[in-house]
Amino acid sequence: MEKLVTILVPTDFSAAAKAAGRFAASLAVPVKAKVVLLSVVEMDTSETVLHSWKVLENQNKASALRNLEKQVKEIQASFKTPPQISTDLVVGMPKEDMIVQRAKEIGADLIVMGTKGASGLKKIFSGSNTARIIQLSHIPVVAIPAKITFSQLAKIVYASDLKNVHAETKTLAKIASLFNAHIMVLHVVAKKEPARIDRNLEPELIEKCRYGAISFHQVEGDAVDTAIADFIQEQRADMLVMYTHKLDFIDRAMGKSVTRSLAFRNQVPLLVFKKTSPQG
């Protein structure tokens, strides 16, 4: 990305939103990116609403602006060299649509959101604001666990079905290169399937992406979620990346009867890209 990277952080001033703000700032500092804290005041903006509602709208806007400035100061106080943070406020509903629309308007490169303490991906993507925004947005979305402790982005695990791995890795490499992060392409195969490993895939990815910090890993596992969890823990990765159309891959990965608590989901951010049609 040659232009200044812009990271949009929607906030409702909750603990989860504050964690997302700190994470976004941590990403922003090393690459001198711009962080935009966005508050959405959910009010009917039509001219037919009562005057009393307009008064309430103004009160809510004033309160949101005060809270935005407070959150900016809290974030900047955590850094020796504070990142560039600006505030933004929009009025309208529904909230998710307003966030996606604003992200487009300001040319955001990433949307970073907190997950309000969700302990697993199924909870994160069960009727949550984050799920709705991922479905609506063509801008990558980062879901941040509320209790995350983040220091650097050095290892990125990209869980892939290999159907469009070259194009998807190339897109991811644009972000990874900003942080000199290592991309670990991970493919999970069932134990009953033949373990066929394409030895040429890793050098092909490095050449096509023009990025040397890429490795390919194939592991066996009947439960995809468990295999991903174990790999992330073993590698001490800093982020999990998935591509999806409408969260269908995540639904399949998590399954309908997952009983194991995936502790790593409270430790690493999840970056979700909108999946495109295979391009070869």
Instruction: Look at domain 155-274 and name its CATH class.
Output: alpha beta
Sign of CA dihedral 45, 40, 171, 269: negative
For residue 257, pLDDT over 50 is answered with: no
CA distance 49 to 54: 7
Which residue is listed with tokens 């560039």?
Answer: 84
pTM (2 decimals)?
0.84
Q: Residue ranges per domain, the chain?
A: 6-144, 155-274
Going by pLDDT thresholds of 50, 70 and 90, the confidence category of residue 261 is very low
What is the average pLDDT score of the chain? 82
> How many other CB atoms are there within 10 angstroms of residue 216's CB atom?
24
Nearest to 95 by CA among 6, 17, 15: 17
Statement: 6-144 belongs to CATH 3.90.1560.10: no
Average pLDDT score over residue span 196-203: 87
Query: Do 6-144 and 155-274 share a fold?
Result: yes
Confidence of residue 139 (pLDDT cuts 50, 70, 90): very high
Is the model more confident about 43 or about 3?
A: 43
Lowest-confidence region among 14-18, 61-65, 116-120: 116-120
Cα 81 to chain center, whole Å?
24
Query: To which residue do tokens 């194009």 refer?
Result: 167
What mean pLDDT is predicted for residues 174-178?
92
pLDDT digits (tens, 9 = 90+) for 67-87: 999 999 999 998 888 889 999
Give yes or no for a contact between 31 and 61, defined as CB atoms under 8 angstroms apart. no
pLDDT at residue 148 in the model: 74
